[in-house]
Amino acid sequence: MKLFDAALGALALLSATTALAAPDKGVEIVDKGKGYSFEYNYPGVIRQFPALEAKMLSEKDVQLAELKEWGAEWATENPDRAADTDMQLQINWRTVADLPRFLSLTIDEWSYTGGAHGSWGRGSLIWDKKSATEIKPLALFTSNEAFDKIVQTPFCDKLDIERSKKRDGEKVDRSQTDDWMQACPKPSELTVILGSSNGRTFNRLAIYAGIYSVGPYVEGDYEIDLPVNAKLLGAVKPAYRSYFTLSPTGSKKR
């Protein structure tokens, strides 16, 4: 939620729907009405791909319409509540890698729909510039099982280190598979993010675990960076293998 603190402050100052566009700042859409507030952002590079932009704006329209319905119900049921308890939705698209053929994106979503606190999460997609179609990151690999077989152990090892830090050094025992706070999920069940440090090929990998997926709300989310190594390259579908290279050593940039 802290990722959106600044956005929340700015959103409170706006009372009408606005759409802004600039080459370096991308597009910002803000809509605030009775019982709801909405913010939707995406980078300027998206405008180079009309099919992708149309897809995103169509999804935005559906989300905004649903939020307005919730907001109307909220305002009717809670007429005396302050404006800062309105139904809120903020969506921010970010460019992770812009390669000659592929555009790798993440989407961060923060929402408040009542209760003690808001909720947030992260998704990802790859846009194939050549075919003008969306590709799920895992679709570039031969199978989810092949991906998990290679990534599972290093992902879980790093995740447990980070979970232990947030738990004041408490050891995580992932052999307790019936305890979701100790167990380690399959990476393919989480958000897979492909990045690049050279602007030409995918050579970075991250696995994102959202709130409540591997620990309690207070721990927040986790994003674990992993290298693209020879084993992982072997699990890439032959048609996409030329678009991957080994991770450079000593660099953590996605």
**Is residue 103 helix, strand or coil?**
strand
pLDDT single digits (tens) 115-133: 778 899 999 999 999 999 9
Closest to 205 (Cα-Cα) out of 248, 162, 174? 248
Q: Specify the pLDDT at position 15.
A: 28
CA 112 → CA 56, 107, 120, distances in Å? 21, 17, 9
Q: What is the pTM of this model?
A: 0.86
pLDDT of residue 252: 54
> Which pLDDT value is given to residue 11?
32
What single string gives the DSSP state of each residue in 214-253? SS-GGG--EEEEEE--HHHHHTB-GGGGGGB-PPPTT---
Last residue of a domain, one of 105, 132, 159: 132
CA dist 21 → 13, 46, 93, 104 (Å) = 19, 11, 14, 21
Local confidence pLDDT in tens for the 254 residues of the chain: 333 333 333 333 222 233 333 344 799 999 999 899 999 999 999 999 999 999 999 999 999 999 999 999 888 888 877 565 789 999 999 999 999 999 999 999 999 887 778 899 999 999 999 999 999 999 999 999 999 999 999 999 999 999 999 999 999 999 999 999 999 999 999 999 999 999 999 999 999 999 999 999 999 999 999 999 999 999 999 999 999 999 997 545 55
**Domain termination site, one of 110, 132, 154:** 132
Total of domains in the chain: 2
User: Which of the 8 DSSP states describes residue 236?
Assistant: B
Can you tell me the distance from the alpha carbon of 79 to that of 170, in angstroms, rounded to the nearest whole number? 46
Look at residue 254 in the predicted model and tell me its pLDDT: 53
Q: In what order do the strands lie in the sheet with 204-209?
A: 191-195, 204-209, 222-227
Give the C-alpha separation, 229 to 239, whole Å.
18
Asked if residue 184 lies in contact with residue 173, where contact means CB atoms within 8 angstroms, the answer is no
Query: What is the span of the domain harbouring residue 83?
Result: 2-132
Domain boundary among 86, 114, 132: 132
Same-domain check for residues 200 and 222: yes
